[in-house]
Chain A
């Protein structure tokens, strides 16, 4: 293995890692707000990516379609929370998992029905000419890293500096007290779902040029995002980002040099079980102590 080859894989890993990080962040956002892990996150992103594809095919310019899709994804997330998740808010874990799984198969099947199962290519907005003579990086990789960074910065600023972001964090952390100071906790949860869906849709649009568009494209990616979220600590947004990058690099380097591309998903399986067994709170998560 030469240094160049290794660098190539590391950079490819960082680019896909950024995408995993976005999806992991979406998972963490929903986890923080509701203590639920959204199994349908990947399929929601896939469905939104199809919407973007349809818009672009209808003649819309890429960035117009991009913005519109993020908006649609947001509304879509809010609607799902209001209509489907809310009735089972206080139900046992199994019921909620079953609802998520139901959502997953419905979206998967609907996408196959509306857009057919043939694999489609998805355009990248970043062209094919290498930028600044960068040797290791394709423009799409560089672009998707850039988009990820922008999304992360925006989210950070939103949650740190805006009253709405603070209210959402408060609602997630302590619903009772938040309600007492006049925050509409239910709506904050719905907004959280909307934001998570929007972030997920960006991840979908960034990964689609690499893995191509088909209804099952997110299955593996969701698994990596789970691994990333767990590695960083399921309740730590910063951890999700670090976890995403680590998982992306590990997946690419191990896939290229150690175990071969066919077994890449097994990396995610081993990571998930390994983290859960050795250090369930991940690198940056809080250790939960429950009172008996």
Chain B
């Protein structure tokens, strides 16, 4: 990374830390959700953007992460922060297992299989026999965490929303750092090689089966962590909030933000958090229609997403 990128990143971090002190509680909560979505989109981007495997069912992994967190807190009395790594681990295994049959599927077929997963997830969560644990159609309500006592003692009293924001911000930074390292090394190059030239990658000695199912697992891990954080932030999980439209929302996010781009995940997250409000204002009745129009327009006009547009603009400024 260049000096300039570092400067931009540092500035962003400072802004991110100041935000909760200037925004209202509700806006702080929304900002926290943006970070949650950014992690989920990063996960989907690892799979779809970097590895070229299309998933229309990532809402399912988000749901698994959310339910893992909610059930651990509700039934086993876990503290909220301990549920996040567990949710990640559960989703890593779930994603890896789903990735194994997905190995034999390419392009459209994988899209189909994951679409089926996304559509049937709410029904799976409503299974009668598991109602004792999942709460059935009602879902589970969880408590909002308080800031640790340590902060008021150093003269920095944080309210619940602010604390949650900083907690999620910390997790987001760690996840992005890990993803940066993963994708800019040997593994990342292997993933991209598989995406661009599957056969050639295999001939070069890349274990495509392993990398592809690992990509699925890691991608699900990210989305699951996001799901857990999302559940803690919203304090509620229910089957019908994880319908196929959630998966579609994630797809919109990575297409708009920019495929195979780390900052793209953040742009996409901003889009899916705030544009529905704008779309609501354009047309109260059909925000999804506006969403769909954006989706198609981006494919036509800006296939590299916002991240690609930003890249082009900065490149133009550098070479007048």
In contact, A102 and B119 (Cβ under 8 angstroms): no
A98, B116: Cβ atoms closer than 8 Å? no
B289 touches A94 (CB 8 A): no
Pair A106/B101 contact, Cβ less than 8 Å: no
Query: Would you call A266 and B303 a contact (CB within 8 A)?
Result: no
Binary A-proximity of B243-271 (CB < 8 A = 1, otherwise 0) = 01100100100010001000000000000
> B219 on the interface (CB 8 Å rule)?
no
How far apart are the CA atoms of A223 and B295 in the complex, in Å? 22
Residues of A within 8 A of B283 (CB): 113
User: How long is the Cα–Cα vector from A263 to B293 in the complex, in angstroms?
Assistant: 33
Partner pick for A105 among B117, B126, B127, B288, CB 8 A cutoff: B288
Q: Does B105 contact A (CB under 8 A)?
A: yes
**Are the C-beta atoms of B299 and A110 separated by less than 8 Å?**
no
B119–A265 contact, CB under 8 A?
Answer: yes
For B38-68 the 0/1 string (1 means CB < 8 A from A) is 0000000000100010101000000000000
In the complex, the answer to whether A269 meets B299 with C-beta atoms within 8 Å is no
How far is A273 from B111 in the complex, measured between Cα atoms in Å?
11
Q: A102 touches which one: B52, B123, B292 (CB < 8 A)? A: B292
Q: Annotate A77-117 by CB proximity to B: 1 below 8 A, 0 otherwise.
A: 00000001001100101110111011111101110110000
Within 8 Å of chain B (Cβ to Cβ): is A36?
Answer: yes
Contacts of A195 in B (CB 8 A): none
Q: From DSSP, what is the main secondary structure of chain B's interface residues?
A: helix
Q: Is A268 an interface residue (CB 8 A)?
A: yes
| Residue in contact with B295 in the complex, picked from A102, A262, A263, A277, CB distance below 8 Å | A102
**A108 engages B288 (CB within 8 Å):** yes
In the complex, A94 Cα to B305 Cα: how many Å? 13
Assuming the contacts A109-B292, A262-B128, asked whether A226 and B286 have C-beta atoms less than 8 A apart, the reply is no
**8 Å CB interface, B274-306 against A:** 283, 285-289, 291-293, 295-296, 298-300, 303
Verify A95–B303 contact, CB threshold 8 A: yes
Q: Is the CB of A97 within 8 A of B56?
A: yes
Identify which of A113, A220, A276 contacts B119 (C-beta below 8 A).
A220
Query: Is B56 within 8 A of A223, CB to CB?
Result: no
Instruction: Give the Cβ gap from A98 to chain B, nearest Cβ, in Å.
Output: 5
Closest B residue to A95 by beta carbon equals B299
B109 — which chain A residues lie within 8 A by C-beta?
276, 280
A280 close to B105 (CB less than 8 A): yes
A260: chain B residues within 8 A (beta carbon) = 128
- A37 is contacted by which of B104, B112, B295 (Cβ under 8 Å)? B112
Complex interface residues of chain A between 35 and 88 (CB less than 8 A to chain B): 36-37, 39, 84, 87-88
Chain A neighbourhood of B185, CB < 8 A: none
Q: Are B296 and A226 in contact (CB under 8 A)?
A: no
- Cα A264 to Cα B127 in complex, Å, equals 11
> Would you give 20 A-B contacts (Cβ < 8 Å), ordered by A?
A39-B115, A94-B48, A94-B52, A98-B251, A98-B295, A98-B298, A98-B299, A103-B296, A104-B292, A105-B245, A106-B296, A113-B283, A113-B285, A262-B127, A263-B123, A263-B124, A266-B124, A276-B104, A277-B104, A280-B104
5 tightest CB-CB pairs across the interface, nearest first? A106-B292, A109-B288, A102-B295, A109-B289, A113-B286
